[in-house]
Every structure is written in C-alpha cells, then in structure tokens.
Amino acid sequence: MSSGRSAVGGRLSRLLTIAAGLVFAALCAVSAVISHSDELLVGATEDGPPPETRVLSELDNSVPDPTWSESGRPGSPVVALTFDDGPDPVRTSDVLDVLSEHGVRGTFFVTGREVLAQPDMLKRIASEGHEIGLHSFNHARMGDLSSTQLLRQYELNQWMVLGTVGVKPVVARAPYSGAGIYHTTKELTAAELAQTEGGLTMIYSDLVARDFEGIPAAQIAAESLPEADRSAIVTLHDGPSDQPRHTAAGLRLLIPELKKRGYEFVTASEYGRVASTAPVPTSERVVATAVTTTAGLLGSLTGVLRLATVVLAPLLLVRALALIILPWRQAMVRRRSRRFRSGAKTPSETPPGVSIIVPAYNEEVGIAGALFSFLRQDYEGPIEIIMVDDGSSDATIARAARFPDVRILSKPNGGKASALNVGFDAASHDFCILVDGDTMFDATAVKRLMEAFDDDTVGAAAGYPMVGNRMANLLTQVQHVEYMVQCSLLRRAQEAVGAVSCMPGPVAAFRKEALDDIGGVPDVTLAEDADLTVALGAAGWKLRYIPDAVAWTEAPIDIRTLWKQRMRWTYGTLQVMWRHRKRSPSAEGERYRRRALALMSLDMIWLPFTPLADLFAILALATGRGGVLVAAVVFTVIIQLVTTWFAAVVDGERRTVLLYAPAQLLFFRYFNLLVLAGAVSSILAGRRQKWHKPKRLGMVPNAAVVPDAAVIPDAAVDGVEAPKTESDVNLEGEPKNRSPVGVGT
C-alpha cells in the first residue's frame, strides 16, 4: 500500500510541477500581452496630430464655452495652467517644485500608461492640491478610434487614477486637441461621444506653448501670455520625451509676469465652473484599486522582460559569434598540435592504464553492446572495465557476465553517483572513464580522451556524446541537431575560454588524483556530471573537451521522456549553481567558477526567455508596430541557423542535417522555457525532483562502435555487422564522426 501511495504521490507531484510551470509560462505570456494591451484593448495611432484639416466648429458644454470665443471668459481675468502627457519622474517633479514655490495650483492631464509607470508622482500631484484630468490611456488620436475604443481610453484612464489616488476625474483633454473651436470632423464626433456617453467635460486651450519642441524658456513664457486683461487656459507639457524641455524654467518667468499683471490662478474646472470629479461608490473604488495594483505588477514584470529582451538580443549575437570564432580557433590550434605531434619523434612507452566505470541499473537492453564497445578499443594501454550493478531487477548482470574480461560489482540501489564512487574506489589505474550504462564508444574514443592528459594539470576531459538513435523519429533528429550545437560548438567555445562546464555522463575521462582531490563524485544534486565538473574546475584543475572522442547514446523518443530528462537537467543545474555560489580558495579556480557559472546561467536561465521576444514581435505586428523588434527576432533566428550550419561544418556532417535545424530551433525555443518554468516552480514549491531513469529501447546499433577488422564472438553480441566508414574529414583534419549503421544523417 505504501508503494502505491508513493506512486500516486509521485504522479501528483509531477502534475503539480507541470501545472505550475505552465502557469508560470502563461504569466510570462500575459506580461508580454500587457506590453501591448493598450493597442489591443483601446486602440492606438501613429504619433502626431490628425492629418485631416481642422475647421471652425463648436462643442457645446466644453471649456472654454463656445460662446466665450468672441468676448472671452466673463469676470475678472484668470489663467489656468495645465500640463499634458505626464506624469514624468523628472519633468513633473520640476514643474511641481516651481508651482509650490509660487503657491500656484495647476491641472495635470495625465495618461493611464504613465500613471501605471509613475504612481508615486501622481500621488504627489494630488497631495499638493493640484487638479487631475484625463488625457486618454496611451495618447492616441481620438478621432481615429472606434466608439468602443474611445470610451475605453478614458475609462481605463479614470480607473488608473481612481485606483492610485482615490478620485475619479471627469474633466478630460483629448491628445492633439488644441483650441476648442477647431476640430476635424472625426475629432468633433469623438469629443461629443466622450461628453454624452462618457460623462466627461472636454477641456481645450486658449494658448499652447511649443515647449514640446524644446524652445527656450523665454519663448515658452512669451507664447503663454494672454492678451491684455483676457482670461486663458494655457497648455504646457510635462510628459516623457526624448526632446529637451524647458517647461519649468519657462514657468519661473511666466508666473511672476502673470502675477504682475494681476491674474488670478485657477484650475481648469474652476475656469469653466464645472465639476472636477464624480462621486465613487466603495465597491468601484475597491475594484479600481485591485485592477490598478494588478496592472502595475504585470507592467513591472513586462518592464523586466522588456529589459531582458533588450539585454538578450546583443547577448545572443555575441554568443553566436563566440560559437563560431572560438571553435574555429580551437580547431586550428588542435590541427597544428596534431601535425606537430605526428612529426615529432617520441620515445616508445606504454600509455597509462584506464579504468572504465559503468554504472548500470536495469540496462539489460544495451549493456552488452556497451561493454563490447569498451573491450574493442583501439588503445595500446591496459584497459580495466568495471561494471557496478546498482540493484538491477532485470537481466543486466546475466548479460554482463557473458564478458569474462569485465569485472562486475553489485550494490543496493543508491543512484548513479554512488555507483560511480564504488567503481572509482575499486579502480586500479590512475585514470578513470565514467560512462552511462547505455553508452557505446567509437573505436578510438579512449585513445582520443587519453591524449588530453599530456599536461599534469589537466584533471578531466569531456568527449562528444552523439545521438545514436537519431533516425527513430523527428524528435530524435532535432535532438541530434541540438547536440551538434550544445555538445560540440558550445564545449569547444567553453574550452577556449577555460570554462568547460560539464563532463557529460556518457563519455568523460578523469585523472584519479583529481577525483580524490574533490572527494569523488558528488551525490547531492541531480546533475552529478555538471556538479563534478564545476568542483574540479573550482579546485584549480584544467578541463578539456575532445570532440574526436565520440560516444553514442540513446535520446528520448517521446515528449514525456524528454520532459523528464530536461527537467532533471535544468533542476540539477540550478542546484549546481546554488551549491557552487561561494568563492573558490584559489585565484585560478575562482576565475573558472565565475566563467562557468556565468555561461551556465546564460544557457539554462536567460536564453530560454528568448521566446518572449517572439511574443512581443507578434503583438507588434498585430498592432502595426513591428519594425525593429520583428527585424531583431528574424536576425537572431538567422544567426542561430548560421550557428547550426557551422556546427555541421565543424563536425563534418552531411548538410542534409540542416533540414532539421528549423524544427530544432522552433521546438526547443519554446520547450526550454516551459522546462525552466517547471523547474523553478518545483523549487519554489519545495518539491525535490527525483532521478527519472528513461526506459532503454536498445536503439543504438552495436555496429556504430566496432572497428572494421574486429571479430565479434557470437556468444557476446548477436546481429552485429561491420561499420561503414567515411572518407570525409572534419574541420580539424580528422576523419569525421561516423554515423551508426542504419542510422544515417
């Protein structure tokens, strides 16, 4: 019963993790939508005034009243100083300082979007006794919107103000409206609708200073002075702008001059003797506060994501260039090194012995082929093969026992790391190769790995794991393309900067002294290979990548298995980054640690967010504002495809593999984001991921790893054929990576 409950609990935990991951991904998508919500919900237009010709027109019940056009406002001369387009953290603050110095109240016509961005500035406007009016949500031309969009513009604008400072303005000024006696036909219709159905009073201007054009302070003051003894509503601008504005300086000249002429200062509603705000029921106030708070949070998230997109764009370009330039340089260095070694005469000596440690848990399908590939290595030194059975319940031991040269150790099930440590303790040679139980080595893999240890400071060398079952379906094909970039190009580039971040589980060699130095294989994370690698680098050992040391591994053939695998990788990598957050005691180790963790965070945390740029671009296209963002996304996609092409060149792959590059890019671009969301949600929820061992199907052909002249005993492996050979060479002048028989490219 307990095992049944455990199984149910495990399934429930996985479902909750996936659900939380999807929610997180949906939140990211919603935040991307929020960045363009105004265009989608309330419409948007190009910047600037309407292109139509304005004609003499009158709007009843507006301010100034149309009947004042000839005689002016009745009564003693007054002036209303109004400010459009804010609030802005700098310009609005400067204007408020000047008004406070002179004891003058003004009217600020604010936009909903800026209120969301600067709620504290709006609160200051209200607290200092100034009037707040509406200026639409996103500064659109009202005459170009539908009736529904127009009303939403002011309605959302009202809600943002109400939720922020608790008042509901009913005075409004349309963007680009100018004087109240001149409208386009569309503007007049829009203004009438705002008053009749929106319950607003439209406020216009008698004088509009061109401070938005960056004119000097003296000119701003001159353009804002009414005719002698004539009242006026003066419009200035305090909103965000790329243009320099001298509005505050102009006010310092204007206000004393108006006082000198005997003007009284009033707000826009006082000028027109109309109501400034409307009463608000408690329920509406609560809802407005909730909506504003939620929109603000999503807006903040959107801001972070926008910043991340801006930062990621150049990072992607730099990364792509690094994945081309650094591997090319490494390949040239390696090629020259091989030529030098082939031409130099060295004394004859036996290569060092190697212990190949094979952890095995229910590996009956592929263990025979794996062991045979280890036994048939083209290596002149002694090879010891130790298989550590980790409590298998199938025929793993029976099949391994068919190989008399393989040493078999058994232990209770305790996980891969513990099995590796058992084998490491039993190893009799100074070098150990740690592999997975389903891995098959190319015939020269051990020889190539051991060439890396020509320097006593080298602690480990990574080989190149390739997808042996790539022809199983489209999913394995795209994984093969991914491995070309991630396991070939990326590790070449990492080696060039001294920051190889992972000795892959399927094929990696270690100096036993180095493993002793860090206490063996760590077992506290789910990514023991990355954990082991960072520990070695932080301890000061050099790490290398040997692309010619090829091993074949079986990749997941369905989405569910791939999800479990990538969840473990991502979750484990996050654990590794947290575990190694502290400084290394040595300067060399600290340099490695910083570089390695930076590269790991880029690939595992930041780059998965690149699909958000796609969402922004799609929304931009939908609203007619694609431009630069769409071009940036297309450019990054092209760069990634070029990187994949270069990976194929470096590996000596047939170019037909590039047919799968678009599918690989499209799939993993979004899949990785969901995986990251699932891993993060699992961590935040306190659910520890477990090791999910995929079911092996034995889909890697044994012939992939057998030397041409090998004689294969029937008792060992059934149905093995000699491999096909290739005459092509890769970038380094070596025979290109052979494909398994029956697998192809």
**Interval 639-654 mean pLDDT:** 83
Average pLDDT, the chain: 81
- Respond yes or no: is residue 480 known to be catalytic: no
Pairing status of strand 232-237 against strand 440-441 = unpaired
Tell me, what's the pLDDT at 104?
A: 97
Backbone angles phi, psi at 194, to 5 degrees: -60, -35
The per-residue pLDDT for range 343-358, each reduced to its tens digit, is 544 555 788 999 999 9
Query: Of the residues 135, 237, 246, 580, which is catalytic?
Result: 237
**Percent helix, strand, coil in the chain (nearest 5)?**
50, 15, 35
337-366 as b/e: b if 16+ CB within 10 A: eeeeeeeeeeeeeebebbbbbbbbbbbbbb
Tell me, what's the pLDDT at 680?
A: 80
pLDDT higher than 90, residue 69 = no
Tell me, what's the pLDDT at 713?
A: 43
CB atoms within 10 A of CB 227: 11
Least confident stretch, 22-26, 171-175, 392-396, 553-557: 22-26
Give CA–CA dist 66/180, Å, rounded: 7
Tokens describing residue 407: 């040493």
Place 743 in a pLDDT band, splitting at 50, 70 and 90.
very low
pLDDT higher than 60, residue 20 = no
Tell me, what's the pLDDT at 728?
A: 45
pLDDT higher than 60, residue 28 = no
Least confident stretch, 28-32, 223-227, 721-725: 721-725
23-27, 118-122, 567-571: which is most confident:
118-122
Give CA–CA dist 474/470, Å, rounded: 8
Tokens describing residue 24: 């997180």
**Interval 645-660 mean pLDDT:** 83
- Respond yes or no: is residue 558 known to be catalytic: no
301 vs 609: which has the higher pLDDT: 609
CATH architecture observed for domain 308-339+434-705 = Alpha-Beta Complex (3.90)
pLDDT higher than 90, residue 705 = no
Tell me, what's the pLDDT at 683?
A: 76
Least confident stretch, 403-417, 450-464, 492-506, 731-745: 731-745
Query: Of the residues 38, 84, 144, 548, which is catalytic?
Result: 84
pLDDT higher than 70, residue 234 = yes
Residues of the chain with CATH 3.20.20.370: 58-280
Rg over alpha carbons for the chain, rounded to the nearest Å, is 35
Place 5 in a pLDDT band, splitting at 50, 70 and 90.
very low
CATH topology of domain 58-280: TIM Barrel (3.20.20)
CB atoms within 10 A of CB 686: 6
Tokens describing residue 722: 């000699």
CB atoms within 10 A of CB 284: 15
Provide the β-strand partners of residue 441. 551
pLDDT higher than 60, residue 67 = yes
Place 134 in a pLDDT band, splitting at 50, 70 and 90.
very high
Provide the β-strand partners of residue 234. 81, 207
Residues of the chain with CATH 3.90.550: 308-339+434-705
195 vs 288: which has the higher pLDDT: 195
CB atoms within 10 A of CB 188: 17
CB atoms within 10 A of CB 459: 27
pLDDT higher than 80, residue 77 = yes
DSSP-derived 3-state class of residue 262: coil
DSSP H helix total and E strand total for the chain = 25, 20
Place 716 in a pLDDT band, splitting at 50, 70 and 90.
very low
pLDDT higher than 50, residue 453 = yes
pLDDT higher than 50, residue 723 = no
Provide the β-strand partners of residue 424. none
* 549 membership: H or E segment, kind and range: strand 542-553
130 vs 67: which has the higher pLDDT: 130
Q: Give one DSSP letter per residue of 65-94, joined into a string.
A: -TTHHHH-SSSS-EEEEEEES---TTHHHH
Place 379 in a pLDDT band, splitting at 50, 70 and 90.
very high
